[in-house]
Each structure stands twice: as structure tokens, then as C-alpha cells.
Amino acid sequence: MVAYSTIRFFVIGPLFAASMGACATSRPIAASNGSTAYEVSCSNGRWECTAEAERVCNGGHYVVLDEDSALGMASHDRHGSLTIQCIEDYVASSNAPLSTPPNPDGSAGRRPSDAIICERTYADAPRVAADWALVRGGAARALPPMREEFMRACTALPEAAQLCLNPKYHLAHADRCAKTLPALDDAKARGLDAVLLAAAP
């Protein structure tokens, strides 16, 4: 009886573990600029893809480069995929300049590392303005802001807000950013208003 019970445990145990395992998979791929990205596939809903994305990025931050329409935020489809890039690779693949514009008083801008996310975000300026207009209840500017003005306003933000201003990061971390951006202090928020909105709210 003891021997039978032991055998039954070792036969059923792996089957149980397999049935309870995650159904999301990921594989490294090359992003359009040759840097490392990941294709994440899941069969149990978007939450499973995002959990796998956090796993491959060591629980840290990532951006969504592409998204299967079946996994859209409003979709109930359980099968789909995301193309993601860990934030370290996203930043490292940037061709951002080595310094930010000088401040109005003539002092140096922020450190090079502080400028990279804002530089990547500026490339999506029309979408950034539209997203910020939703946060502030205003109207986005018809024309993109001047790079120098945008960089000055963006690099003045805390790192968490800089990340959330990036549309690709915002897509990946919508819940976090829904709290981060509205919580900005008034001076920093108005700095963004001045470069992204048609008129202050």
C-alpha cells in the first residue's frame, strides 16, 4: 500500500503541476532598430501576457511596441500576443542626444540619462498631447510642440511621470499611470499644459 501511494503521487504530481502552469510564453526577437524585444503569447487573457512580460523583464518596467487587436484593453478574447521591450533595452536603443537643452537661466540641462525617455516620448508628440488632454480635460495643440520646450517640461518631471507620459509605457502600465499623472504637482502639470495643450484647462 505504501509503494502504491508513492507511485500514484509521482504520476499525478507532474500532471497537476502542468495543468496549473502558466499558459503564456515568450521568445526574444529583434525590434525594428535591431535591439532586443520579446514576443509574448498567451491563451488565458491579457493579464497573463502582462504577467509574462513582467517576468521576462525581471518584474520591472516595459513598453508595448505592438499589440494583437484581440488583446485590446476592451477585448474579452483570451488568446493573443504582445510585442514588448524591457525599459532598459528601450532606453539603450535610443539615439537621443547627449544633453538636454539649457535651462532658461543658462544653467545646464538634466543629465543625459534623464533625457532619454523624454526624447523617445517626443517622437510620439501628437499622441502624447492627446493623452495629456484627456488627463487635464483640455484640448491638444494642433501642432507638435517645439522639441526644446517639450524636453524642458518633460525632464522636470519625476521619473515615474516621465515614463507614464510615454504612450508605449502608458499602454503597458495603464493602472499605474492613471494614478501617477493626475497626481503631478500643479507647477509641473502646468509646464506640460503650456507645451501640449491649446489652452490651459
- Neighbouring CB atoms inside 10 A of 37's CB total 23
The kind and range of the H/E element at 28 are strand 25-30
pLDDT tens, position by position, 157-187? 998 999 999 998 998 888 889 999 999 999 9
Separate counts of helices (H) and strands (E) for the chain: 10, 4
pLDDT tens, position by position, 62-118? 888 888 755 554 445 567 888 999 988 887 766 544 334 444 444 444 444 457 889
pLDDT, greater one: 10 or 165:
165
User: Grid coordinates 507532474 are at which residue?
Assistant: 14
pLDDT tens, position by position, 34-54? 889 999 998 877 788 888 999
- Can you give the pLDDT at residue 24? 87
- Can you give the pLDDT at residue 200? 59
- Residue 93, C-alpha cell as written in the block: 536603443
Contacts of 169 (CB under 8 A, 6+ apart): 61, 62, 63, 87, 163, 177
Instruction: Kindly report the pTM of this predicted structure.
Output: 0.64
pLDDT tens, position by position, 11-33? 333 333 333 445 889 999 998 88
**Residue 74 per-residue DSSP state:** T
Q: Band of the pLDDT at 150, cuts 50, 70, 90?
A: very high
- Can you give the pLDDT at residue 32? 82
- Can you give the pLDDT at residue 114? 55
- Can you give the pLDDT at residue 112? 45
Helix axis angle for 147-155 and 112-122, nearest 10°, is 130
Q: Band of the pLDDT at 134, cuts 50, 70, 90?
A: very high
**Residue 197 per-residue DSSP state:** B
* pLDDT exceeds cutoff 60 at 137: yes
- Can you give the pLDDT at residue 95? 52
Displacement of CA 149 from its chain's centroid (Å):
23
